Amino acid sequence: MDNPTVGDVVAALDRRYPPRLAMGWDRVGLVCGDPAAPVRRVLFAVDPVADVVAEALDTGADMLVVHHPLLLRGVHSVAATTFKGALVHQLVSGGVALYTAHTNADAASGGVADALAGAIGLVDVAPMVPDPGPALDKHVVFVPVADASAVVDAMSAAGAGAVGEYSRCAWSTVGEGTFVPSAQATPTIGTQLEVTTVVEARVEMVAPRDRRAGVVAAMRTAHPYEEPAFDVLELATWPGSTGLGQVGRLPAEVSLDQLARTVAAVLPATAAGVRYAGPPDALVRTVAVVGGAGDSEFDAVRSCGADAYVTADLRHHPASEAREQAVHDAATGRRTAATPYLVDVSHAASEWLWLPAAADKLAADLGGSVVTQVSTARTDPWTGHVPSPAEGES
């Protein structure tokens, strides 16, 4: 793509991280910037903080893509007397557009949870809490064999027959159709008031439910009959490929301590580091991950049968109760996947891993016409850590 605009970048990001995947309370998409403005350089970061905005301005970025929203709650002013208003003024005056991909990037395929799961080395991953798949119809049409291909083409052009990376997908079989045209009919085949038998194809194609009217209209236009026979069947909804978190397996069992060390090694360094709840030598194989704050999802983690749960911002009481249940089960020989061990990490660090992949994908989606880079600013708010004295020390 030659000379992409802010609007082009937004469209590319929206395709990767559809805004419809965002939670209802979230605010994602273009925050400030002119959709018609040209874009040559894009900076990616977790947080829209002062250091990141300064980096965007210093590096000549035309657009800043962040994970966390700058303006999540309703605002009535962006005056520069507040720190958020000051950042908006700096971005606008510097010609830097701001775009947010938050919970939509958490849930999307290739998003935040995927990046965390991949860095840890999980295989056979799937969404921990899958979103429902798209609502689909099955269109069943009866058409003379000679006209079946034209009907399939028309329905495909209207949005039917897309299955994964394949298009114009259809299934058909041949049988006999029979009818009697009335005295008022103008049949393409047959004679008024006489029994007519035609060799017909039964054609089946799936289509998104929101394309129903268009697919039916296209079928009617391409069909040779005055009154085509067809069915539209609503298909059951299946779990989709997007959703909150990821769950997968490690290639081999490891100790809880080794899992925590692996997590620490792949995440950016932070003052808090990585902590875990459970016996160091406990063996784990199935691991659930949620980037960012995840202690509201304990029920989902238990349901997916994870041995360990890697997330951020674990609060005292939920973590304590999970640990006590695990200790009790281990002592009584009833250790189950319903009581996962916990690995608690920095919020920002758990989400940072997504940035390099997102930057590379945007550059590829725009044909290399923009330069993308990942911010080097450390946005974790904690700046220091003092270890507790060892036993016997003062």
- The whole-number pLDDT of residue 329 equals 73
Q: What angle do CA 277, 279, 283 make, to 5 degrees?
A: 105
- The whole-number pLDDT of residue 335 equals 57
Query: Which residue numbers in the chain have pLDDT < 50?
Result: 337
For residue 288, which of 130, 103, 122, 132 has the smallest C-alpha distance?
Answer: 122
- The whole-number pLDDT of residue 322 equals 77
CB 121 within 8 A of CB 266: no
- Reported in sequence order, the residue ranges of the chain that DSSP labels E, i.e. its strands, are 29-32, 41-45, 63-66, 97-100, 123-132, 136-144, 171-179, 196-208, 229-234, 239-255, 275-277, 283-293, 308-312, 341-345, 371-374
In the three-class reduction of DSSP (H, G, I as helix; E, B as strand; rest coil), residue 177 is classed as: strand
Q: How far is CA 53 from CA 84, 94, 349, 382, in A?
A: 11, 10, 19, 19
| pLDDT per position as a tens digit, 23-78 | 999 999 999 999 999 999 999 999 999 999 999 999 999 999 999 999 998 888 99
- The whole-number pLDDT of residue 28 equals 97
- The whole-number pLDDT of residue 338 equals 62
Please tell me the number of Cα atoms within 13 Å of 232 on its side-chain side: 18
CB 352 within 8 A of CB 284: no
The pTM score is 0.82
CA–CA dist 126, 105 (Å, integer): 15
**Integer-rounded Cα radius of gyration of the chain:** 28
In the three-class reduction of DSSP (H, G, I as helix; E, B as strand; rest coil), residue 12 is classed as: helix
CA–CA dist 357, 180 (Å, integer): 62
| pLDDT per position as a tens digit, 319-337 | 888 778 767 776 777 655 4
- The whole-number pLDDT of residue 391 equals 60
